[in-house]
Amino acid sequence: MSSILLLLITVIAYIVAYHTYGKWIGRKILQLTSFNKTPARSLHDAIDFVPTSKGILFGHHFTTIAGTGPIVGPAIAVIWGWGPAFLWVLLGPIFAGAVHDMMSLVISSRHNGQTVGELSSGLISPRVGFFFQILVQMLLWIFVAVLAIVIALLFEMYPRSVLPIWAEIPIALWAGHSLYEKKRSVLFTSLVAVGLMYFAVFLGISFPITLPAFGPLSAAVSWMAILMVYGYFASIMPVQKLLQPRDYINAHELWIAMILLVAGIIVGNPEVSAPFFQQAPGAPHLAPSLFIIIACGAISGFHAVTSSGTTVRQLENEEDALFIGYGGMLMEGILALVVVLAITAGLTMEGDREGFLRFYRSWDLTSGAGLKAQLGALVEGGTNLMAAYGMPKELGRNIITVFIVSFASTSFDSAIRLQRFGLKEILQKVPALREKRWVNNRFILSLIVIVAAIGLCMITRDGKGALLLWPAFGAINQLLAALTLVVATVYLIKQKTHFLVTAIPMAFMLFVIFWGALYNLRNYIDKKEMPLLIITGVTLALSTWMVVETAAVLIRNYRQRNHP
Q: What is the pLDDT of residues 307-317, one digit of tens each?
A: 987 899 999 99
Separation of CA 507 from chain center: 22
Axis-axis angle for helices 393-427, 162-176 (nearest 10): 60
Q: What is the pLDDT of residues 144-162, one digit of tens each?
A: 988 888 888 888 888 999 9
* 476-501 average pLDDT score: 91
Q: For residues 369 and 386, give the distance between their C-alpha atoms in angstroms, rounded to a whole number.
A: 26
Is the CATH code 1.20.1740.10 the one for domain 3-562? Answer: yes
Q: Considering the chain, what is the average pLDDT of its residues?
A: 87
* 211-228 average pLDDT score: 81
Rounded alpha-carbon distances, angstroms, from residue 222 to 21, 369, 465? 48, 19, 15
* 540-552 average pLDDT score: 86
DSSP characters for 240-251? Answer: TTTHHHHHHHHH
Asked if residue 367 has pLDDT above 50, the reply is: no
Q: Looking at 80-89, 190-199, 529-538, which range is the least confident one? A: 529-538
Per-residue confidence (pLDDT) for residue 561, from 0 to 100: 61
Of 54 and 101, more confident: 101
Query: Where residue 75 falls among pLDDT bands split at 50, 70, 90?
Result: confident
Asked if residue 447 has pLDDT above 90, the reply is: yes
Q: Which DSSP symbol is given to 346? A: G
* 444-451 average pLDDT score: 93
| Peptide bond before residue 288 is cis, with ω within 30 degrees of 0 | yes
Query: Using only C-alpha atoms, what is the Rg of the chain?
Result: 22
Contact between residue 55 and residue 186 where contact means Cβ atoms under 8 Å apart: yes
Asked if residue 43 has pLDDT above 80, the reply is: yes
Q: What is the pLDDT of residues 462-488, one digit of tens each?
A: 777 777 777 777 888 898 999 999 999
Q: For residues 450 and 362, give the distance between their C-alpha atoms in angstroms, rounded to a whole number.
A: 31
Per-residue confidence (pLDDT) for residue 366, from 0 to 100: 45
Instruction: Give the pTM.
Output: 0.86
DSSP characters for 109-134? Answer: HTTTT--HHHHHHHHT-HHHHHHHHH
Query: Where residue 370 falls among pLDDT bands split at 50, 70, 90?
Result: low
Helix (H) or strand (E) holding 516: helix 500-527
Query: Where residue 364 falls among pLDDT bands split at 50, 70, 90?
Result: low
| Torsions phi, psi for 315 (to 5 deg) | -70, 115
Separation of CA 334 from chain center: 14
* 411-421 average pLDDT score: 85
> Which residues are bridge partners to 315 per DSSP?
52
Query: Where residue 215 falls among pLDDT bands split at 50, 70, 90?
Result: low
> Residue ranges of the domains in the chain?
3-562
121 burial type by CB count under 10 A (0-12 exposed, 13-18 middle, 19+ buried): buried
Q: For residues 186 and 190, give the distance between their C-alpha atoms in angstroms, rounded to a whole number.
A: 6
Query: Where residue 166 falls among pLDDT bands split at 50, 70, 90?
Result: very high
Per-residue confidence (pLDDT) for residue 496, from 0 to 100: 87
Per-residue confidence (pLDDT) for residue 481, from 0 to 100: 94
Query: What is the percent of the chain where pLDDT is above 70?
Result: 95
Per-residue confidence (pLDDT) for residue 351, from 0 to 100: 57
Torsional sign, CA 466, 467, 469, 472: positive
Asked if residue 216 has pLDDT above 80, the reply is: no
Contact between residue 493 and residue 499 where contact means Cβ atoms under 8 Å apart: yes
Which candidate, 466, 468, 471, places its Cα nearest to that of 520?
471
